[in-house]
Structure 1
Amino acid sequence: MIADGHIHTPFCPHGTTDSFEKYITRAVALGFKEITFTEHAPLPLSFDDSTPSKDSAMRLDVLHEYFETITKLQEVYRSSIKINRGLEVDYIEGYEPEISSFLTEYGPYIDDSILSVHFLKKDTDYYCLDYSPQVFNEMIATFGGIESVYSAYYQTVLQSITSDLGAYKPKRMGHITLVHKFQKKYPVQDSYEQEVLNILHEMKKYNLQLDYNGAGMNKPLCLEPYPPRWVIREAIKLNLKLVYGSDAHQAKDLGQGLVALYPGVTLSSPTT
């Protein structure tokens, strides 16, 4: 099935104002049979968004409107495309109880979801690793080297997989090599192969899907999918379910990176 399991919306504070309808008509034109809108879930109320613009996620007070909007669109476009209500949930170390509580309350509204790591903890502070090259460079200095940033990222992703977030914990891991977003500007020597393999094996143990994310192809300092082809080859060996995600933050990004994905891959529906 041709599907896109990772799409953002006009509810995204750092996205565009492209309407839901614009995303949907674009998806239909591209031949997608199923899509999931996965807006950034509201961050825990006690968490201070560390990005300079404080725009990492949608506000809690618009969450019901978000779900209601998609529910109406599901009916309108039922004959053309399957539309899922979804969220991209941030795993933030130390905030597991609040994340679990949020998922318990809002999980019944969710058809499909993704668990992603954007924030890394260093001592008592948190840093958004994919915000900008400048912030990433600051992280390199704060963490004591780029290798320490990469190690912290992969450790946090592994922790997110094994963390108990309740019955509504997302079943798909988002862009598991996001730390490579600025690799052309800040190269790293280690492949972190063992760390990535550990993540894949834990995903298999917990029966999790893998977000086969094409967005990195359009990031000028990355130029590869999240994750790259060697990781996909290993995921296939483990029979992990792969779900394509454009990670589109504007309608024209739908389908990005799809042609560059590993040939011969069998992609799964987001909801199976």
Structure 2
Amino acid sequence: MTKVDGHVHTPFCPHGSTDSFEMYVERAMALGYNGITFTEHAPLPVGFRDTTPEQDSGMDPSRLEDYFETLDSLKERYKDRITIRSGLEVDYIEGFEKETAEFLSIYGPRMDDSILSVHFLQHRGKWDCLDFSPEVFESMMSYYGSVDEIYKRYYKTVLKSIQSDLGFYKPKRIGHITLVTKFQQMFPSSRTFSDDISLILQEMAARDLELDYNGAGFVKPYCGESYPPPDVIKQARALGIKIVYGSDAHTADGLNQGRALMK
């Protein structure tokens, strides 16, 4: 049986750890994985200003060539032991579709796999990284008006990411589609948003997109479940959507996180 992790970060992550690629690969093999996709955070679109304090949400563009060359070397070294795939986690940022498509047209040919995710939301010209911290999320509530309004905007943006035209190399997998629940135990919503999520899944199925079954939510102190939770995974499977487990590990020890709790 093939066992893969399709969402793994690297020492090139500006907000991750300095664990080496070899540490990730060796641990993956020790855990019985047959394949691993490194999906480092792509540089944010040209013209977009990162709102995080250290402006470290995406990779430095000047490091991209080194990143792909390092992965090429790693693939060759481990080719008889584990399948290593080169990828990126690309941010969908509303209004920057043209810039994102241009980036993908250049680096898409270098990728074996990729993920499209939403981390940033816009409210009347103000941008926020919604999963950065409980403090940022709480501050968003003051101008969105409620937790529900943040959820509503998030799911609307995920839907737009799925429907967006990002060119031939648009990522085929949608990342952590319920990331907005990261702080749900502190800031619960008043409803399930099941209709919003169902529409997202229907649009994914119509476009033959894959779903990131992300284990990171289990280790987040205010979340306590996968992104998305098992009931959504059940819906996705019923629609024929391919499910790909992702640890979203930012350290070698983070590999396999949440997997034992998934259904």
Q: Identify the TM-score tier after normalising by the shorter chain.
A: over 0.9
Q: Which residue of 2 aligns with 1:25?
A: 26
> Which contiguous aligned blocks of 4+ residues in structure 1 show a shift greater than 6 angstroms?
none
Q: Distance in 1 between matches of 2:138 and 2:126?
A: 16
Q: The residue matched to 1:120 in structure 2 has which SS?
A: strand
Residue of structure 2 in register with 1:266 after alignment: none
Partner of 2:44: 43
Q: Report the 3-state secondary structure (helix = DSSP H, G, I; strand = E; otherwise coil) of the residue aligned with 1:9.
A: coil
TM-score (norm 2): 0.99
Alignment of structure 1 residues 114-263 onto 2, 5 Å: 114-262=115-263
Instruction: Give the whole-Å Cα distance in 1 for the aligned partners of 2:117 and 2:250.
Output: 16
Deviation at 1:236, TM superposition (A): 1.2
**How far, CA to CA, are the matches of 1:200 and 1:89 in structure 2?**
19
Following the alignment from structure 2 to structure 1, what is the Cα–Cα distance between the partners of residues 172 and 157?
17
Take 1:258 and 1:164, find their aligned partners in 2: how far apart are those partners? Answer: 32
Work out whether 1:100 is the aligned partner of 2:98. no
Residue 9 of structure 2: aligned partner: 8
The corresponding residue for 1:265 is none
Question: Aligned AA for 2:41?
Answer: H
| Alpha-carbon offset, residue 82 of structure 1 | 0.2
CA distance in 1, matches of 2:57, 2:142: 23
CA separation in 2, counterparts of 1:76 and 1:142? Answer: 51
Which amino acid in the other structure matches residue 114 of structure 2? S
Q: State the shift of 1:222 in Å.
A: 0.2
Write the distance in 2 (CA, Å) between the matches of 1:186 and 1:124. Answer: 24
The Cα of 1:96 is off from its aligned counterpart by 0.3
Which sections of structure 2, spanning at least 5 residues, go unmatched? none
Match of 1:270 in 2: none
Cα deviation, residue 144, structure 1: 1.4
Mapping 1:36-115, distance limit 5 Å: 36-115=37-116
- One-letter code aligned to 2:207: Y
C-alpha displacement at 1:65, in angstroms?
0.3
Q: Distance in 2 between matches of 1:38 and 1:61?
A: 17
* C-alpha distance in 1 between matches for 2:231 and 2:54: 35
Unaligned 5+ residue runs, structure 1? 263-272
Q: Provide Cα deviations, 1:104-161, integer angstroms capped at 9, x if missing partner.
A: 0111101000000000011112110000000000111121111110000000000000
SS at match of 1:64: helix
Aligned partners of 1:98 and 1:166: how far apart in 2?
Answer: 11
Q: CA deviation at 1:193?
A: 0.3
CA distance in 2, matches of 1:118, 1:8: 16
Q: How many residues align?
A: 262
Aligned residue identity for 1:194: D
TM-score under structure 1 length normalisation? 0.96
Question: For 1:74-104, what per-residue CA distance to the aligned partner results, in whole angstroms no more than 9, with x for missing partners?
Answer: 0000011000000000000000000000000
Cα offset, 1:19, TM superposition: 0.3
Q: What is the letter of the counterpart of residue 39 of structure 1?
A: E
Distance in 1, Cα, partners of 2:151 & 2:119: 12
Amino acid at match of 2:247: S
> RMSD in angstroms over aligned alpha carbons?
0.5
- In structure 2, what is the Cα distance between the partners aligned to 1:131 and 1:88? 16
Secondary structure class of the residue paired with 1:234: helix
